Amino acid sequence: MKVDPRQVEQAAKELYIRALKLLPPDVKQGFDAAAKAESDAGARRMLGTMIQNIAVAERTDNLLCQDTGIPIYNVWIGRGVEIDGVALKEAIRKGCERATREHPFRSSVVHPITRKNEHSSSGRGVPVIQVDFSGNDTLVIEMVPKGSGSENNSWLRMAVPAEGVDAIKTFVVDCVLDAGGKTCPPTIVGVGVGGTADLCVHLAKLAATRPLGSRCEDPEGAKLERELTEAVNLLGVGPQGLGGDSTAFAVHVETAATHITMNPVAVNMQCHSARRARATFSQKGVEYGF
């Protein structure tokens, strides 16, 4: 299957806009479950307000949040898919810029030193484009706008192996307490364990942006997810940090093998507006979803 870069550009544009306006069904279900399980009356009211905000944004075709975030595009190239890799990345960048300028919405991307804003949601190394490969006969592009309220709450610790799993759990709990209401909870807490320092942080980001209801493929990671989700929701941070049971929709964990003398652990959070959108290119055309 040959993919025209012009189709990719259009999809990259549409995905950015869709991600900012439409909340994935799994996140809406997470809100419903949290509201039903919440024991604190004030927290239930806050959750109700947040649910209403989502409904109003979608009904009026407005953004779910004013923060358009750092644009991240995850790409999976399947077997038999023909596309120029350089052209693919350039098309995604152009689509990202077009979404910002043509829609229009706020560009949140600036130069790290001069703080100059090109008003294109692009810059050096941005949009972030991650390319991987799959066994399917499709090209899949996922767009995640990662807001600063969640991204600012990121941590890495190079734990000592002798500290064991307890060090991982303590670190994650401490990070959630440190974040408090700054991540606009309920959150998805992404945890990376293992690998190198940079891989560990990347794993935490992948975990934070996974759909609710998904599980870590590593059985030990899945077990840790369950234990940490329970522990985090006993902290009392609650919706928007105002108290309650609903501190996190879930804690997601991703793992990688690591060196015998180290045990990296990273935390990256996703706010309650866990936005993402996906386009799948196949012989049938382009299909949009989450």
Is-cis flag, bond preceding 127, omega within 30? yes
Question: Tokens in use for 216?
Answer: 């870590």
Cα–Cα distance for residue pair 206/219, rounded to 1 Å: 17
187-194 vs 248-256, strand pairing mode: parallel
Whole-angstrom distance, CA of residue 150 vs CA of residue 140: 25
Per-residue tokens: 31: 């809100």
Supply φ then ψ for residue 210, to 5 degrees: -70, 150
On whether the CB atoms of residues 43 and 244 are closer than 8 A, the answer is yes
Q: Which two tokens stand for residue 221?
A: 């990671």
Sorted by where each starts, the structural domains of the chain and their CATH numbers stand as 5-20+64-147+274-289 (3.30.1330), 149-270 (no CATH)
Amino acid at 132: D
Q: What tokens appear for 155 in the block?
A: 């941590």
Q: Are strands 128-134 and 70-78 parallel, antiparallel or unpaired?
A: parallel
| Whole-number Å distance between alpha carbons of 68 and 46 | 23
Nearest CA to 98 out of 120, 118, 116, 117 is that of 120
Helix-helix angle 219-232:164-179, to 10 degrees: 40
Output the pTM of the full model: 0.94
For residue 104, what pLDDT is reported? 84
- Tens digit of each residue's pLDDT, the chain (290 residues): 999 999 999 999 999 999 999 999 999 999 999 999 999 999 999 999 999 999 999 999 999 999 999 999 999 999 999 999 999 999 999 999 999 999 989 999 999 999 999 999 999 999 999 999 999 999 999 999 999 999 999 999 999 999 999 999 999 999 999 999 999 999 999 999 999 999 999 999 999 999 999 999 999 999 999 999 999 999 999 999 999 999 999 999 999 999 999 999 999 999 999 999 999 999 999 999 99
